[in-house]
Amino acid sequence: MPTDCSSFSGRLLAAFFTLTSLLTVPAIATIDPVAASRIFQEAKAISDRDAGTFWGHKLYGPILLVDPNDRSIVANQADAGGALKASGDLFTGVLPEAEILANTPAEWSGTRWTELLWPLPDDAVKQHVMLTHEMFHRIQPELKLTRPDIGNQHLDTLEGRYLLQLEWRALAKALRAADAADRKAAIADALLFRQERYRLFPEAASEENSLEINEGVPEYTGVRLGLETPQERIDYAVRDLSAFVQSPSFVRSFAYATGPAYGLLLDQVDDAWRSKLGSGQRLEQLLSAGLQLPDSTSADLKAREAAYDDGTLRTSELKRDQERSARLALLKAKLVDGPVLTVSLSGANFQFNPQTLQSLGKEGMVFPTMSVSGKWGALEIKGGALVDKDMTLVTVSAAGVTPTHLESKDWHLTLKEGWTVEPGPRKGDLVIKKTEAKTP
What's the pLDDT tens digit per position in 69-78? 999 999 999 9
Task: Provide mean pLDDT across the span 269-291.
Answer: 95
Average pLDDT rounded to a whole number, residues 231-240? 97
User: Which has the higher per-residue pLDDT, 322 or 149?
Assistant: 322
- Is pLDDT of 14 > 80? no
Q: Which of 48-52, 124-128, 234-238, 248-252 has the lowest mean pLDDT?
A: 248-252
Window from 134-138, 361-365, 377-381 with minimum mean pLDDT: 361-365
The pLDDT of residue 439 is 54
For residue 16, the tally of other CB atoms under 10 A from its CB is 18
**What pLDDT was estimated at residue 404?**
87
- pLDDT attached to residue 17: 30
Residue 100 pLDDT grade (very low, low, confident, very high; cuts 50, 70, 90): confident
Task: Specify the pLDDT at position 438.
Answer: 55
Top pLDDT among 9 and 156 is at 156
Model confidence at 357, pLDDT cuts 50, 70, 90, reads confident
**Helix extents (H) in 245-387:** 254-269, 283-291, 301-308, 312-332
d(CA 191, CA 402): 53
Average pLDDT, the chain: 90
Under the banding of pLDDT at 50, 70 and 90, the label for residue 24 is very low
What pairs with residue 36 in β-bridges?
none
**Residue range 413-426, pLDDT digits in tens:** 999 999 999 999 99
Mean pLDDT throughout 393-403? 94
pLDDT of residue 300: 84
pLDDT at 169 over 80: yes
Sorting pLDDT into bands at 50, 70 and 90, what band is 15? very low
Q: Is the pLDDT of residue 21 over 60?
A: no
Nearest to 434, CA basis, from 422, 418, 415: 418
CA atoms of 76 and 63, how far apart (whole Å): 6
What pLDDT, on the 0 to 100 scale, is given for residue 81?
A: 97
Task: Assess contact for 236 and 244: CB atoms under 8 A.
Answer: no
Give burial (CB, 10 Å; 0-12/13-18/19+) of 332.
Answer: middle
Comparing 133-137, 146-150, 283-287, the range with the smallest average pLDDT is 146-150
Per-residue pLDDT, averaged over 328-355, amounts to 88
pLDDT, position 390: 83
Determine what percent of the chain is predicted with pLDDT higher than 70.
92
Which SS3 state, helix, strand or coil, does residue 242 take? helix
Asked whether the predicted pLDDT for residue 157 surpasses 50, the reply is yes
**Residue extents of the structural domains in the chain:** 33-143, 153-309, 338-434
pLDDT, one tens digit per residue, over 206-225 is 999 999 999 999 999 999 99
Task: Report DSSP letters for 371-417, one per residue.
Answer: EEEETTEEEEESS-EEE-TTS-EEEEE-TT-BTTB---SSEEEEEPT
Distance set, CA 268 to CA 97, 215, 272 (Å): 46, 21, 11
Task: Give the alpha-carbon dihedral of 206, 211, 213, 219, to 10 degrees.
Answer: -150
Residue 165: C-alpha distances to residues 155, 172, 210, 315, 435 (Å): 10, 11, 19, 13, 50
Return d(Cα 191, Cα 188) in angstroms, integer.
5
Higher pLDDT, 354 or 307: 307
Q: Is the pLDDT of residue 175 over 50?
A: yes
Burial 167-181 (b: 16+ CB within 10 A, else e): bbbbbbbbbebeeee
Q: What integer is the mean pLDDT of 7-19?
A: 32
The answer to whether residue 279 scores a pLDDT higher than 60 is yes
Would you place residue 365 in the very low, low, confident or very high pLDDT band (cuts 50, 70, 90)?
A: confident
Q: Give the span between the Cα atoms of 116 and 109, in whole angstroms.
A: 16
Question: Could you give the CA distance from residue 422 to residue 432 in angstroms, rounded to a whole number?
Answer: 6
Per-residue pLDDT at 26: 38
Whether the pLDDT of residue 23 is over 60: the answer is no
pLDDT category of residue 98 using cuts at 50, 70 and 90:
confident
> Rounded to whole angstroms, how far apart are CA atoms 349 and 299?
47
**Is the model's pLDDT at 10 over the cut of 60?**
no
pLDDT at 440: 55
Side-chain half-sphere exposure of 297, counting CA atoms within 13 A: 4
Give residue 398's pLDDT. 95
Q: Contact at 8 Å (CB) between 137 and 3?
A: no
Which of helix, strand or coil describes residue 297?
coil
